[in-house]
Structure 1
């Protein structure tokens, strides 16, 4: 199987999480992704713990199925190599601050002149325009400025630092993939590429979805625990007798009735979405252990599920049935367990080829594909143009 994106070739200049997660999805779907990495300035993701056999597990996952070409972009010869590559590539993905690629001579206008079909994607914290365009930031900052943190938390403790990087992944990565694939479709009709400006803050702002719609149209300001879905109703997490947690999402009357009936308290369903129901449910949950509650709701279709640790989630029969863990070749004959691509195509996806590789692992291979001689490659290495 070659995958639905086997016809696409991607030059990936990104580091850390947002860009690499986007290009991981592309690579998993069959795209030929070539990372352009600095031979001297390491992607910090490579040293992020924990490590498996000396390799960052995060890096090994986020960069699987990708090749690596190490180039010192401060040297003219390296820039010429990039320009030669661009002639044969569909997409450039970069994550520098605004203006960096232009100063290198690798901005959209410069590369479009070489390949008019090129689709150029820039992922940044705040976008290419506006007073914050040159400002540094991280996931927590983007969610804060986008308004998301103002109603994601508790009244007595404030906003919650999320364990999942929502702005980076749901904001930057996924929107970038959606946008660039839309540009690919448009190019099929027009024959020309285009530039895509992806701001993680912009995309996080759009994730306000229902609360944002309510505020803009009706002036209803969301705040901690004042809405149905953010703790302002019985839709919430409940502590068990032994200190574990259960999730309750029984919003519809039929589910609410089954929830209350499971506790032997069918009369509670008459309380609707009220906080009074929430208080009553807290008492019922705290009467029982986590195991008792899992058994109680195992056969009840009431939108009640246990809060699992990651180790428990990996072993859950639903996730196992969906084959969400994949064994990916390391390159030495062994494999590493990784999160699998969650997309299910009727024609399937190609098997994972390898985990993330060392910096410049494919430099010689890529240069040879460009027609560079073995002697010239050696000279470029000697000059530290190539790593």
Structure 2
């Protein structure tokens, strides 16, 4: 695929979501990605419904733009093939538990001896060091241990299982790509490759951002529905008459004033600007009652020309048809492997050249 990373060749040993998503991003930006597929070990995304053609939709999406090489890493001949490839491939991504690639005979030190400029990225749940390095985990566990789950959801119901894999993708995949590209720049400057250690728990912990800063430096532990942005203010979701939801993010004075005027709640403007919890709760109750009086379509029409940070909660299929996402080419058609086209999410990074 065309893109700014056409000079990079990536050997991908990963399965499931974090590593394949990272290498898909690299392939989308032009990298030459060769995916090593074990003939005796099925990638679970390959058999995860729903299917479109012979493969699952998830597998088709995550493997787009990549070539595939079947290799049995328990066979000496195939291990030698990996060592031969390393002369030409300058980036390795793997997602095994720490030490597995070493036991197979193709760990970082071994491959580095063959290609000193090699950039080797390992994505794991807890990283290459620490007491949890060999522990199993999933996205929900990384979010729990990193503190993210503790301040999400509702005070009376606890943290929700997220609709997307935050630690896997926003944590593991994106940080892996950042780490690899930073290592590429370092190699351009010094000629040296290096090992990039990505822990999905580390990355999820870093995603705490403002709430983490408030806790560590300010001593303020954020709880569900306790702050401006996690349900403690009128910045929230509201159910409509037809059971849909409307998002309200009208925080700034000019937006909150326009929002209240549009809802014929001009007398609530001062509450929107107040930091007092009781004022915010009074406003939220008024908004719940007001917004429940019309359907989502009616509210969309009401706010269509109002610059007030109010938007409908769309399904994925609805979002795919939204004129903004369509204008940004965020839905594309890709050959699924049998000559037929499949609709997929497009590349979110746009380049001028």
TM-score by length of 1: 0.88
The CA deviation at 1:211 is: 0.3
Partner of 1:360: none
Tell me the equivalent position of 1:327: 333
Describe the SS at the equivalent of 1:83.
Answer: helix
Measured against aligned partners, the alpha-carbon deviations of 1:288-324 in whole angstroms (never above 9, x if no partner) come to 1111111111111000000011111111111111111
Residue 217 of structure 2: SS of its match in structure 1? helix
How far, CA to CA, are the matches of 1:211 and 1:5 in structure 2? 35
Distance in 2 (CA, whole Å) between partners of 1:309 and 1:36 is 35
Equivalent in the alignment of 1:169: 169
CA shift at 1:330, angstroms?
A: 2.7
- CA displacement at 1:280 relative to structure 2: 1.3
**Which consecutive segments of 4 or more residues in structure 1 shift more than 3 A?**
none
Which secondary structure state, in structure 2, belongs to the residue aligned with residue 202 of structure 1?
helix
User: Distance between the aligned counterparts of 2:163 and 2:147, measured in 1?
Assistant: 18
Residue of structure 2 equivalent to 1:207: 207
- Distance across 1 between alignment mates of 2:112 and 2:33: 19
Question: Which residue does the alignment assign to 1:377?
Answer: none
| Mapping 1:123-272, distance limit 5 Å | 123-271=123-271, 272=273
Structure 1 residue aligned with 2:310: 304
Match for residue 337 of structure 1?
Answer: 343
Query: Could you say which structure has the greater relative contact order, defined with CA pairs below 8 angstroms and 6 or more residues apart?
Result: 1
**SS state of the match for residue 204, structure 1?**
helix
CA shift at 1:43, angstroms? 0.8
Partner residue, 1:378: none
Question: Secondary structure, in 3 states, of the residue corresponding to 1:154?
Answer: coil
Distance in 1 (alpha carbons) for counterparts of 2:303 and 2:109: 58
Distance 1:58 1:166 in 2: 16
Alignment root-mean-square deviation, CA: 0.9
Deviation at 1:264, TM superposition (A): 1.3
Q: Deviations over 1:102-161 (max 9, x none)?
A: 101111111000000000000000000111110100000000000000010101111010
Q: Distance in 1 between matches of 2:224 and 2:80?
A: 53
- Size of the alignment, in residue pairs? 347
Q: From 275, 283, 296, give the equivalent of 1:290.
A: 296
- State the partner residue of 2:286: 280
Which residue in 2 is equivalent to 1:84? 84
The CA deviation string for residues 199-219 of structure 1, in whole angstroms up to 9 with x for no partner, is 000000000000000001111
* Whole-angstrom distance in 1 between the partners of 2:265 and 2:338: 59
* Residue of structure 2 in register with 1:372 after alignment: none
Q: Secondary structure of the residue that 2:68 maps to in structure 1?
A: strand
Query: What CA deviation, in whole Å up to 9, does each residue of 1:34-66 have, x standing for no partner?
Result: 011111111111001100113100000001010
**Mapped partners of 1:243, 1:336: distance in 2:** 31
Structure 1, gaps ≥5 residues long: 348-387
In structure 2, how many angstroms separate the alpha carbons of the residues matched to 1:287 and 1:73?
61
Which stretch of structure 1 is more off in the superposition, 334-343 or 13-22?
334-343
SS at match of 1:60: helix
Structure 2 residue ranges without an equivalent (≥5): 275-279
Shift of 1:267: 1.8
